[in-house]
Amino acid sequence: MTISSANNTPRVIYTATASQTVFTIPFEFFAVTDVKVYVGSTLATYSTNPTTTTQFSIQATTSASDSAYEYGSGGTLTFGSGQTAGTVITVLRRITIERTVDFPTSSSLDITSLNTEQDQGIAIFGDLNDKISRSITQNDYDESATLTLPAKTDRASKTLAFDSSGNVIAQSAQGVQTVNVATGDAGTSATSTYDATTGVLDLTIPRGSDGTQGPAGSDGSDGIFLSIASQSEAQTGTENTKGMTPLRTKEAINAQVGAISTIASKFFGLKKTVDGTGRTIATQEHTLVGGSENLTLSDYDTYFFATGSIFMSIDTSGHLLINMP
């Protein structure tokens, strides 16, 4: 067969439709072992009776001009099960580099074998060119540079880089050493900056929008106060962090009223008397603080008590006794 440059591109990529099983092999090949098929990144296997999505068979495309070569016009491959829509199918040719025919030094040559050897050589060149085109290479106009990998022991646990002359070198992996995280305003975009020299990564992450307010919790047993004042605390009136119940309020008032009743009291009265000349004289009288006196209220035209409390009782003689603190 004649291999043209148009048919010497040993790679084709398809995107499968739903349940698709049959795909075209557009390039020439010499044996089914020359064809490699990838389903996604999985290498599929050849089988004369495929049953799965990663098994395939190959059928030659008949061509009158290439009748001496079974796969001179390519062929088709058929999977054992339909592919999922969107699956990437890669079909390529990889011919083993070997010589299959040893020609005699005399007598006639087998033209078919000779052509096959020549065709295989050209096909192998196409395979190698496909590999080279997918490799990292220098531009034709680039100055010379050392692109050879450093020795295995020199590059172990390191990263590949280029020095100031563009040569390949191995250097210790810096990686991220420190991460600083800041909070940005709500509605802004997240940002990041990385310093390869120091290994410092700065991140700014915007805060989320405020959520709805949750329900209020139930009141504690003592309301807004941490605890309720004791009776003694309520009566002394020196505690300022505890609550007062109605009972504690009553106890506090009683205690304070009792304290007031111990304050010294006085009796003030305006008494009218007639002197020896018959004149009426008004005299203001009062009791001594802390004293004890017997008074007849009818002797006073008016009177009042300056006191916190008065205790009155009647003695056995029927007299009214007024006790003032």
Task: Give 37-54 pLDDT, tens digit per residue.
Answer: 999 999 999 999 999 999
Q: What is the pTM of this model?
A: 0.42
Model pLDDT, residue 141: 66
Mean pLDDT across the stretch 176-199? 84
Q: What are phi and psi of 163, to 5 degrees?
A: -80, -175
Question: Over 80: is that where the pLDDT of 247 sits?
Answer: yes
Confidence grade of residue 304 (pLDDT, cut at 50, 70, 90): low
Question: Over 50: is that where the pLDDT of 250 sits?
Answer: yes
Model pLDDT, residue 165: 83
Confidence grade of residue 180 (pLDDT, cut at 50, 70, 90): very high
pLDDT more than 70, % of the chain: 68
Q: 10 vs 255, which has greater pLDDT?
A: 10
Here the tokens at position 188 are: 């802004």
140 CB-side CA count, 13 A: 0
42, with CB counted inside 10 A (0-12, 13-18, 19+), is exposed
Model pLDDT, residue 40: 94
Here the tokens at position 3 are: 């291999």
Question: Over 90: is that where the pLDDT of 79 sits?
Answer: yes
Model pLDDT, residue 306: 66
Mean pLDDT across the stretch 149-172? 84
Q: 3 vs 300, which has greater pLDDT?
A: 300
Q: Are 282 and 305 in contact (CB under 8 A)?
A: no
**Helices within 65-201 (DSSP H only):** 111-133, 152-155
Give the amino acid at 108. Answer: S
Model pLDDT, residue 219: 64
Question: Over 60: is that where the pLDDT of 65 sits?
Answer: no
